[in-house]
């Protein structure tokens, strides 16, 4: 077991898969000798060379089109979109082409590809480099959507994404890049669509994703001091969505709180809340509470950004509201 940053885990996960399968290639802006603008692909170019680790111009449509065309003809590309905000300039390739091609062709075309992207706030980058867009992806049939919260899960879920026969959008939360965690030696391969219970408590179920997981755990610590025992579920994957783990926990606790970094409207928590309301209404002993970023673009100033994103205090308050 070695301690490793989330950032280094990305490079390790990529290398693990490129070592195993010669059809895996990495493509994107500055992913090669520069090692990525977030230094998340350091060492991959030196190890696998310029044929398999390819720098591109600032051409997001060309990057994702290349990944798609390569995936339909025998490669398993990992493409990088530097900031997830940039999906807005290549969303045609993602939403119209990659997501729909298997369906439209009656299953003739497979697209085993991964699109990695730095997602989310906390870096004071302002409204065009800080968005949480996983709910954009979740809304499109044909895309799998993954967002790890720990270095270990980065390796395991990235491996699962690369080996998956369907397109996967892999959101790396950029404020987590320096975060450290234990990562076992050897090959790690996870399973998509499996949530993990990070902490078990009988009083309320808190469901969180990516950077919101450590905050939810901190809120759980604080609530424990008040005698409130909270279950914290790390969703890890929005599509497939592990409804079973969430619903089972809600049946036990009777309370559901979602913690979402995305702006309020149509965030992933709304889908989770609606499923629980539809399928476990009579197990609920209080209102479902969603803690989200308000429905605003993210401001740049540190004080404002911190105030906008869900804080530990707001999560604590959300659990209390659900328990009232």
Partner 1 sequence: MTELQDQRGRGGPASAARGIGTAPVGAAPIEVRTSIYKMMVEMRDFEKRAYDLFLQGLVKGTSHLGLGQEAVAAGFAAAMRPSDYTFATYRGHNHTLARGAPMAAVMAELMGRQAGLMAGKGGSMHLTSVAHRMMGSYAIVGAHLTIANGAAWSAKLRGTGEVAVCFFGDGTTNIGAFHEALNLAAIWKLPVVFVCENNRWMEYTPISSVTAVAHPAADRARSYGLDPVLVDGNDADATYAAASVALERARAGAGPTLVEAETYRHGGHSRADPGKYRPEAEVQAWLARDPIPLYRARLAESGVDESVLRRIEEAAQSAVDAASAEAAASPPPDFSLVEADVWADGGSSWRR
Chain residues binding partner 1 by CB under 8 A are 25, 51-52, 54, 56-57, 59, 61-62, 64-75, 77, 92-93, 96-97, 101-110, 141-142, 164-166, 193-194, 239-244, 275
Shortest distance, CB of residue 106 to partner 1, whole angstroms? 4
Task: Count CB atoms within 10 A of the CB of residue 302.
Answer: 11
For partner 1, give the closer residue by CB, 197 or 243: 243
Instruction: Point out the residues that are catalytic.
Output: 129
Shortest distance, CB of residue 72 to partner 1, whole angstroms? 6
The string of DSSP codes covering 158-175 is HHHHHHSSS-EEEEEEGG
Nearest Cα to Cα of residue 149 among 180, 124, 192, 123? 180
**φ/ψ (deg, to 5) at 285:** -115, 10
Shortest distance, CB of residue 59 to partner 1, whole angstroms? 4
Helix pair 6-20, 151-163: axis angle to 10 deg? 30
Residues ≥6 apart with Cβ < 8 Å to 112? 71, 76, 162, 164, 165, 166, 167
Q: Residues for the chain: how many in total?
A: 324
Shortest distance, CB of residue 284 to partner 1, whole angstroms? 19
For partner 1, give the closer residue by CB, 135 or 175: 135
For partner 1, give the closer residue by CB, 4 or 75: 75
For partner 1, give the closer residue by CB, 23 or 311: 23
Asked if 209 and 236 count as a contact pair (C-beta separation under 8 A), the reply is yes
For partner 1, give the closer residue by CB, 113 or 319: 113
SS3 230: strand
Give the pairing type, strands 180-183 and 2-5: antiparallel
Shortest distance, CB of residue 302 to partner 1, whole angstroms? 35
């Amino acid at each position: 077991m070695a301690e490793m940053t989330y950032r280094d885990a990305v490079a390790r996960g990529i290398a693990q898969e490129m070592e195993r399968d010669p059809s895996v290639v990495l493509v994107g802006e500055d992913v090669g000798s520069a090692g990525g603008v977030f230094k998340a692909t350091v060492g991959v170019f030196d190890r696998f060379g310029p044929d398999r680790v390819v720098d591109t111009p600032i051409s997001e449509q060309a990057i994702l089109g290349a990944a798609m065309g390569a995936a339909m003809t025998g490669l398993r590309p990992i493409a990088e979109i530097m900031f997830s905000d940039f999906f807005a300039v290549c969303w045609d390739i993602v939403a119209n082409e990659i997501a729909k091609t298997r369906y439209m062709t009656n299953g003739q075309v497979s697209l085993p590809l991964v699109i990695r992207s730095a997602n989310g706030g906390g870096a004071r980058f302002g409204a065009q480099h800080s968005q949480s867009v996983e709910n954009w992806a979740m809304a499109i049939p044909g895309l799998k959507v993954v967002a790890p919260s720990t270095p270990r899960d980065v390796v395991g879920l990235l491996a699962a994404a690369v080996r998956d026969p369907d397109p996967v959008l892999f959101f790396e939360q950029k404020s987590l890049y320096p975060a450290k965690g234990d990562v076992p030696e050897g090959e790690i391969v996870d399973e998509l669509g499996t949530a993990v219970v990070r902490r078990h408590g009988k009083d309320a179920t808190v469901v969180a994703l990516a950077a919101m997981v450590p905050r939810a755990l901190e809120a759980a610590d604080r609530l424990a001091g008040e005698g409130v025992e909270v279950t914290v579920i790390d969703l890890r994957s929005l599509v497939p969505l592990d409804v079973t783990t969430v619903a089972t926990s809600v049946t036990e606790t009777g309370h559901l709180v979602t913690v979402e970094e995305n702006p309020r409207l149509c965030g992933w928590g709304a889908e989770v809340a609606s499923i629980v309301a539809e399928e476990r209404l009579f197990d609920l002993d209080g209102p479902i509470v969603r803690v989200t970023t308000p429905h605003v673009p993210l401001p740049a100033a540190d004080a404002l950004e911190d105030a906008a994103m869900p804080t530990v205090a707001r999560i604590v308050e959300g659990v209390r509201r659900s328990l009232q």
